[in-house]
Amino acid sequence: MTNSSSRIAFLFPGQGSQAVGMGKELAGNHAVARRTFEEADEALGYKLSQLCFEGPEGKLKLTEITQPAILTASVAAWRVLQEKGLKPDFVAGHSLGEYSAHVAAGTLTFADAVRSVRNRGKYMQEAVPVGVGAMAAILGMALDKVSEVARDAAQGEVCQAANINSPEQVVISGSAGAVDRAIKLAHERGAKKAVGLPVSAPFHCSLMQPAQDRLAADLAALSFQDPSCPVVCNVDAAAITSAEASREALIRQVTGAVRWEPSVRLLIDKGASLFIEVGPGKVLWGLMRQIDRSKTCVTVGDDASLQKTLGQIAAVVA
């Protein structure tokens, strides 16, 4: 634990942060990162490492490959930080990233997590035929107004707030027709922007119930431990500290909204002032700038960002 004035939260990214080449540099320069990719290859029975390092991008974008790929790149980065002596006071992850958070907290073994998220991706993809569901980002509109838009656009179909990302950004999910109607309504009611997202399924809404049921059976069979530090879960934006609460939150998360902004605000209320996005991309760093620019947020996805972050942490914790 650091002193209370600079408590550290590790944040782990979700789907959409993938990029060809992710983790390659860390695996090349750090044995612990290289072993993480080898462990994933072994657990999955195929060369996930090769898809992460070399692509092709089209294959890396397939949900059942994307999910274990981001988890593995994130855990590799976390293990490098751990080796450098850095321990979080709290962890949280955006959607899929919650699994990375639980690996970091010792709730789940990495091998169990990587197989679980491969299945999670597969189940989500199979829950709704391609083209039947959709998602859209609504920018510059308050959550209560977005919820009204979703409700009015539903017309007997599914349309729900799926990702409460920041004061600027709420993502909706549901039936394709309802989401189209919501985009039009949001424009009419003054949203800065409302745009469909290039996703393969309508994540985090009730259409995902078949996926949630299948995943629940998988997670019930796994061994969960009490996390070593509080994990802020998406579905409740609450800190959880027990094995059973962790399992249950991961199950409900499939159909439940990702309450990211409330989760980050909870971490701030609990004294977190240094946030480290651990894994590929800078999505959560960008959201943090919209939520609270006064907090220090840094990223660790490759060697350059690792060195920069270690330097900044030394300055903050000193």
- State the span(s) of the chain assigned CATH 3.30.70.250: 133-199
Is 147 annotated in the active site?
no
Q: Tell me which of 95, 100, 200, 305 is the catalytic residue.
A: 95
Q: Tell me which of 74, 166, 204, 273 is the catalytic residue.
A: 204
- State the span(s) of the chain assigned CATH 3.40.366.10: 4-127+207-317
Beta bridge partners of 10: 91, 276
Is 204 annotated in the active site?
yes
How high is the pLDDT of residue 312?
83
Q: What is the model's pTM?
A: 0.96
DSSP 69-105: HHHHHHHHHHHHHHHTT---SEEEESTTHHHHHHHHT
CATH architecture of 133-199: 2-Layer Sandwich (3.30)
Low-confidence ranges of the chain (pLDDT < 70): 1-5, 316-318
* Distance from chain centroid for Cα 298: 16
Per-residue pLDDT tens digits for 5-29: 679 999 999 999 999 999 999 999 9
Q: Could you identify the residue written with the tokens 């299945």? A: 119
* CATH class (in words) of the domain with range 4-127+207-317: alpha beta
Helices 63-83 and 31-44, interaxial angle, to 10°?
150
How high is the pLDDT of residue 199?
87
